[in-house]
Amino acid sequence: MTDAASTSSRQAILDRLRSRPVTAPPLPDLHPAGLVAYDDPLAQFCQVATSVGAAVHRIGSLDEIGPILEELPPYRDARTRASLLPAAVPGNLDLASVDDPHDLASLDWLIAAGDFGVAENGAIWMRTAGVRHRASFFITQYLAIVISAADIVPHMHAAYERIGSTIEQGFGVFIAGPSKTADIEQSLVLGAHGCRALTIFVCGEA
Amino acid sequence: MGALPIVEHPAAAAKFVANRERMAWHDKALWFVREKRDRMAHSLPEWEWLRETASAIKQHTIAALPEYLEQFEAAATRQGAHVHWAADAEEHNRIVLRILEEHQVRRVVKSKSMLTEECHLNPFLERHGIEVVDTDLGERIVQLRHERPSHIVLPAIHIKKEEVGDTFHEHLGTEAGAADPQYLTEAARGHLRDKFLAADAGITGVNFGIAETGGIVVCTNEGNADLGTSLPPLHIACMGIEKLIPRARDLGVFTRLLARSATGQPITTYTSHFHGPLRESDGPEGSGRTSGELHIVLVDNGRTRIRDSQEFRPALGCIRCGACMNTCPVYRRSGGHSYNAVVPGPIGSVLSPAADPAAHQSLPSACSLCGSCTDVCPVRIPLHHQLLAWRRELASRRLLPASKRWAMDAASQLMRHPRLFAAAGWLGRQALRITPRFLVYNRLNTWGRRRELPEPPRESFREWWKQNRESQSHD
Ligand code: SF4
């Protein structure tokens, strides 16, 4: 869909760049010594995730998720819940049956599985693979993410190492805490456009 | 709101500075952010290694930019994105409009993008009958108030909550006098949800483009970029050509630096990686049904010119974190609008004169050369050296205002003639001692404003040296 003008601008930009050769150092290696190391990466993850606004629960088995959620008023009062872990927590909306993502506007809760957590910043890598509408993750009022305690990497270098070439498979997002803003006088408010609250379940032992 | 009028920084700052209480409040708010950044930086033993590596990656990429751009274009196209090239702001706007018109778009939701501000995209689209809603809360506030962002990360940092309350009362129907940030944010959430659901297209900026994979990365705290690109089927990503990084794993360096430097968070809430357009049931096999289009517009708009300059080339490494603004004593006390430029603060004072030297000649002087910006910049741009270089450059192009030029010419005469220098010094010391206050502290002498001039010494250093040391040094 590129038109003639854009094509000629492409050539003009590339020509202009090539007419001024610039020498620069080679691309640096990314295997540094002395990176931050945590004695207990899982504890670090839980602490930082909490500090960025998430509620973190350590659980022994997936059966514990339901009762913990039932304690939360926004969960008890929720009308529409979708679960991507139906064996552990049943939902009442099948995401695959929704044709138009706009119909997800009334979604109250989404319970999903995360790939892994990052100790240094409390972020969780999420793939939207297999979920019909990517919007589900952002339009839901409340989000719960389940990860395995064994799946914690220390920092972002290790995170990208782990993601590797799977990054090219469509969409992926690091989520750290609930959506937030401080645009009014630097007062932190949780629940900007995405989820109002993020509940993380860390299952099993590290 | 088209091109900004030419106003000198001191004149533009005068209004902000006149309200001392607001100036102090603004100063404090930004210093608070700077302190949060310090705590984050100090928590990582490898902080300096990260800065050094980020700088090296950027320098390398900018040098090999044509190759990386071609690599990016090929990979992004393979992923199913459409790549467009725009030589300048005008072409960028025309490309965006054409894509929107081809899709019969009437309503657009936009997440934060300094590039589209730079191109004045909003007024352009509005003139063509398209509704553009800025969805970042701070940007929405300034949009409703018909203002401009005063900071690249904190667009509404200059506005008080009571003023936001008034604006929302008028436009969103919140209660009169309500100023609670929680309440106001909730009102904006409801208002903007409707906009997201009604939008035909989403426009975003790009924090990083990955040459190797053809992917783009967008960082937000609010989740607005994600909602704006997963509901409507059309996503247009506007990207300066300097946003490229070679490899996906380079993101490890930049995602660790960006939010820590910007707001003192360990990472932004959402760090979203887009490879190709919106797909239903996106899957590892790429099996999902494509349900949208992704258009990436690569924009030059003066960037190749900056790359041509050995001196200013490092400025292209800027990742728009805003740390140099938060730390700048001039920015904190004069406010972002005083720069009359899309990007304010130290980096804005470097980039703006490159775009239009005559219009922005006063900016490199809005700087005390304290060097704090250089100290905090996550990609180690030597900002204060560049500001000094601009002063030299502008002086040699005779673009400084007459008052500065005259004073500098006089100073240069003095420096070159020792006798004249000594005489002028003596005269100055005598004059300052006997001149009545009203002649020193008046509105014509800017150096006498809001400060007491030092008590002039009785003798010059040279006189003192002659009397006390010269004889000894000959012993
Ligand atoms: S110049 Fe450096 S400190 Fe300033 S916004 Fe850019 S990256 Fe941040």
DSSP secondary structure string, B71-133? HHHHHHHHTT-EEEEESSHHHHHHHHHHHHHHTT--EEEE---HHHHHTTHHHHHHHTT-EEE
- Residue intervals of chain B classified under CATH 3.40.50.10420 are 9-304
Burial B375-384 (b: 16+ CB within 10 A, else e): ebbbbbbbbb
| Angle ∠(B49,B55,B61) on CA atoms, nearest 5 | 135
Residues of A whose CB is below 8 A from B271 = 123, 173-174, 176
| Residue in B65, B221, B276 closest to A179 by CB | B221
Pairing of strands A109-113, A81-83: parallel
- Mark yes or no for CB contact A12/B87 under 8 Å: yes
Task: Give CA–CA dist B414/B425, Å, rounded.
Answer: 10
Contact A76, A102 (CB under 8 A): no
**Domain A38-93+104-203 sits in which CATH superfamily?**
NagB/RpiA/CoA transferase-like (3.40.50.10420)
Size of interface A-B (CB pairs under 8 A): 283
**Domain B9-304 annotated CATH 3.40.50.10420:** yes
Q: Given a cut of 80, is residue B130 above it in pLDDT?
A: yes
Residues of A whose CB is below 8 A from B64 = 24
**Residue in B closest to A100 by C-alpha:** B231
Q: Which helix (H) or strand (E) holds A132?
A: none
At B195, list the tokens. Answer: 């906009």
Q: Is A176 left (phi over 0), alpha (psi -120 to 50) or beta?
A: beta
pLDDT digits (tens, 9 = 90+) for A4-49: 777 899 999 999 999 999 998 899 988 767 899 999 999 999 999 9
pLDDT digits (tens, 9 = 90+) for B51-75: 999 999 999 999 999 999 999 999 9
DSSP-assigned letter for residue A39: S
C-alpha B224, offset from chain centre: 20
Averaged confidence pLDDT in chain A: 94
**Residue in B closest to A16 by C-alpha:** B304
Tell me the sheet residues that pair with A143: A110, A198
Minimal Cα–Cα distance from A160 to chain B, Å? 5
Segment B357-375 mean pLDDT:
93
Q: How far is the CA of B28 from the centre of ligand 1 (A)?
A: 20
For ligand 1, say whether the CB of B351 is within 6 Å of any of its atoms.
no
| pLDDT at residue B451, rounded to an integer | 67
Task: Give CA–CA dist B433/A186, Å, rounded.
Answer: 47
Residues of B whose CB is below 8 A from A16 = 300, 304
Residue nearest to atom 4 of ligand 1 (CA): B324
Q: How many CB atoms lie under 10 A from the CB of residue B471? A: 9
Minimal Cα–Cα distance from B203 to chain A, Å? 16
Q: Given a cut of 50, is residue B110 above it in pLDDT?
A: yes
| pLDDT at residue B404, rounded to an integer | 72
Task: Specify the ligand 1 atom closest to the Cα of B347.
Answer: 1
| pLDDT at residue B6, rounded to an integer | 73
| Least confident range of A82-91, B1-10, B119-128, B172-181 | B1-10
Q: State the best of A106, A118, A171, A198 to mutate against chain B, taking most chain B CBs within 10 Å.
A: A171
Single out the residue of B195, B236, B280 nearest to residue A136, CA to CA.
Answer: B280
Helix (H, G, I), strand (E, B) or coil at A152: strand
Helix (H, G, I), strand (E, B) or coil at B209: strand
C-alpha B60, offset from chain centre: 22
A43: Cβ contacts below 8 Å, ≥ 6 apart: none
Averaged confidence pLDDT in chain B: 91
**Residue in A closest to B29 by C-alpha:** A186
Q: How far is the CA of B328 from the centre of ligand 1 (A)?
A: 11
Q: Which of B30, B352, B381 to mutate to test the pocket of ligand 1 (most atoms within 8 A of CB)?
A: B381
Residues of B whose CB is below 8 A from A100 = none
Segment B240-260 mean pLDDT:
98
| Residue in B45, B82, B255 closest to A1 by CB | B82
Residues of B whose CB is below 8 A from A32 = 46, 49, 53
| Least confident range of B198-202, B262-266, B354-358 | B354-358
Segment A136-145 mean pLDDT:
98
The interface pTM score, or ipTM, of the predicted complex is: 0.97
Q: Given a cut of 50, is residue A1 above it in pLDDT?
A: no
Q: How far is the CA of B375 from the centre of ligand 1 (A)?
A: 10
Owner of token pair 């409707």: B194
- Give me the long-range contacts of B123-127 (CB less than 8 A, separation at least 24): B123/B1, B123/B2, B124/B93, B124/B97, B125/B93, B125/B96, B125/B97, B125/B100
**Residue in B closest to A11 by C-alpha:** B85
Q: How far is the CA of B33 from the centre of ligand 1 (A)?
A: 14
Residues of A whose CB is below 8 A from B59 = 24-25
**Residue B1 pLDDT class (50, 70, 90 cuts):** very low
**Which amino acid is it at A117?**
G
**Residue B374 pLDDT class (50, 70, 90 cuts):** very high
Task: Give CA–CA dist B229/B291, Å, rounded.
Answer: 11
Where along chain A do its domains lie?
A: 38-93+104-203
Q: How far is the CA of A29 from the centre of ligand 1 (A)?
A: 23
| Least confident range of A35-49, A105-119, B254-268, B271-285 | B271-285
At A150, list the tokens. Answer: 């064994």
Segment A116-129 mean pLDDT:
95
Mutual angle of helices B137-144 and B161-172, in 10-degree steps: 70
pLDDT digits (tens, 9 = 90+) for A147-201: 999 999 999 999 999 999 999 999 999 999 999 999 999 999 999 999 999 999 9
| pLDDT at residue B15, rounded to an integer | 84
Single out the residue of B221, B196, B217 nearest to residue B208, CA to CA.
Answer: B217
